[in-house]
Amino acid sequence: MLTLGCARNEVDSEELAGRLTDGGWNLVDADSGAADVIVVNTCGFVESAKKDSVDTLLAAHDVAETSGAKVVAVGCMAQRYGSELAESLPEADAVLGFDHYPNLGERLDDVVAGRTVASHQPTDRRTLLPISPVQRPAAAEQVAVPGHGWGPRVLRTRLDDSPVASLKIASGCDRRCSFCAIPSFRGSFVSRHPDEIVAEAAWLAQHGARELFLVSENSTSYGKDLPREVGGPDALDKLLPRLAAVDGVLRVRVSYLQPAETRPGLVRTIATTDGVADYFDLSFQHSSERVLRRMRRFGSTDSFLELTKQIRALAPEAGIRTNVIVGFPGETDADLDELRRFLTGARLDAVGVFGYSDEDGTEAETLDGKLDPEVITERVAEIGGLVEELTSQRAEDRIGQEVAVLVETVDGGELAGRAAHQAPEVDGECVIVDGDGLAVGDMVRAKVEASEGVDLVVRPLEVLR
């Protein structure tokens, strides 16, 4: 099984692996040559991700020509394009959507036996559930939603031995950002029941997870569609302490918070709850009011700066990260100045800078005021350079401080891990010096001695847990 894309896709792959092993299939190493089927969990978010997915499918086909294996595409790109992808990419023996997931083992049986499996027929998944969130729980039982509806069992197989594991708390999104196609193929927002999430957290801890990375398309909406006794606007506030109390879990981290939905109570819970990383992954995207409105989003430079101020009033060393899009249709020099003002004032720990590109079927694809690609490239380079300077300064500010580091890799004499302000893969890491005796999964109190870009060099003081 090969996985592309985000942490949500990684969770989906582990669910599929669990369903397949439960159905009698065995996972083998991708390079072993022993596979009957190569399953590629694709990403369909942006053009570069789609290209990576196609390249991986073609590479899998090359391997399959030698070994005789079949190639099956699943995941977001398969869900989004379905039969269209199958027609343009005959190298894939089957293109299966989310509706195939509950019976994936049987469909792979068909593929191996040479029986034709009809390709997924795409539909707008927002139409599959009621518009009203509170009416969705019952209806969701009739719709295949990855990561939902397992019941008391945990149908999941870990695909690595990392001490960090992603844990899905919800799927889909009700927002209508003009540049984003995700809701159309991931569907409307659906929360998982908190008891189900806690049970999976305990299972992950039993299988080596020490940090839980909570993922969804929009974590700040969690609970809005659940019954009142377990849901409501403070459902995530209540869930976080329960997860932090799970035996074996050392740290819980929340991803993807919408700034417009980030309430003071949630800020306080994340900033002050023992065992919850004081880490805020806030999807700002831009800070110019004019650009944000064209994006169908809310906020402004001043309101976003006020939010960061609230966070640091409770947790001065809290980690704050975001992504921004530059070159959005109609973006002016004045809009870019607003973004510079925000980035300079916010003192963020990590920022992803992306140039705008049209996405199939989105409102932004039809907007006027499109910028030349050369202009977008220049703006990405300019804002990227500013971000690199600012985030490096923020890392330098941490020199002399103490941080709690989860040890994630021990390679010979080289050790590395992450502090509370560093999420997996995107926010840098801590290089640990003089860490003899430490093991993967240890949480250590360490002193920051130097910085290299957003990375920190730390010296351990004691093992905490």
- Residues 33 and 28: their CA atoms lie apart, in Å, by 9
- pLDDT score, position 153: 78
- Residues 233 and 299: their CA atoms lie apart, in Å, by 20
Helices and strands per DSSP (H, E), number in the chain: 14, 17
Mode of pairing for the β-strands spanning 319-326 and 350-355: parallel
- Sorting pLDDT into bands at 50, 70 and 90, what band is 154? confident
Longest CA–CA span in the chain (Å) reads 64
Q: Is 173 annotated as a binding residue?
A: yes
Over residues 327-369, the pLDDT tens digits come to 999 999 999 999 999 999 999 999 999 999 999 899 999 999 9
- pLDDT score, position 141: 77
- pLDDT score, position 151: 64
- pLDDT score, position 33: 82
Averaged over 15-32, what is the pLDDT? 90
Candidates 311, 287, 283; CA nearest to 301 is: 287
- pLDDT score, position 149: 67
The phi and psi torsions of 20 (rounded to 5 degrees) equal -70, -45
Averaged over 236-251, what is the pLDDT? 98
Q: Which long-range contacts (CB under 8 A, 24 or more apart) does 355-358 make?
A: 355/325, 355/326, 355/327, 355/379, 355/380, 356/179, 356/325, 356/326, 356/327, 356/328, 356/329, 356/331, 357/46, 357/47
The amino acid at 432: I
- Sorting pLDDT into bands at 50, 70 and 90, what band is 150? low
- Residues 293 and 178: their CA atoms lie apart, in Å, by 9
- pLDDT score, position 294: 98
- Residues 185 and 177: their CA atoms lie apart, in Å, by 14
Walk me through the domains of the chain, giving residue ranges and CATH numbers.
2-122 (3.40.50.12160), 129-397 (3.80.30.20), 401-464 (2.40.50.140)
- Residues 118 and 93: their CA atoms lie apart, in Å, by 10
Mean pLDDT of the chain: 94
The amino acid at 66: T
Q: Give the global pTM.
A: 0.93
Q: Is 76 annotated as a binding residue?
A: yes
Say if residue 391's pLDDT is above 90: yes
- pLDDT score, position 32: 81
Q: Is 430 annotated as a binding residue?
A: no
Candidates 283, 280, 281; CA nearest to 297 is: 283
- pLDDT score, position 45: 77
% pLDDT > 70, the chain: 99
Q: Is 43 annotated as a binding residue?
A: yes
DSSP 56-77: HHHHHHHHHHHH--EEEEEEHH
**DSSP one-letter code for 69:** -
Beta-ladder partners of 254: 214
Over residues 38-88, the pLDDT tens digits come to 999 999 877 888 899 999 999 999 989 888 999 999 999 999 999 999 999
Report the run of H or E that residue 340 belongs to, with start and end. Answer: helix 333-346
- Residues 318 and 162: their CA atoms lie apart, in Å, by 24
- Sorting pLDDT into bands at 50, 70 and 90, what band is 35? very high
Averaged over 88-106, what is the pLDDT? 93
- pLDDT score, position 152: 67
- Residues 55 and 60: their CA atoms lie apart, in Å, by 9
Over residues 264-320, the pLDDT tens digits come to 999 999 999 999 999 999 999 999 999 999 999 999 999 999 999 999 999 999 999
Query: Which strands sit side by side in the sheet containing 251-254, from one edge to the other?
Result: 164-168, 211-215, 251-254
- pLDDT score, position 377: 97
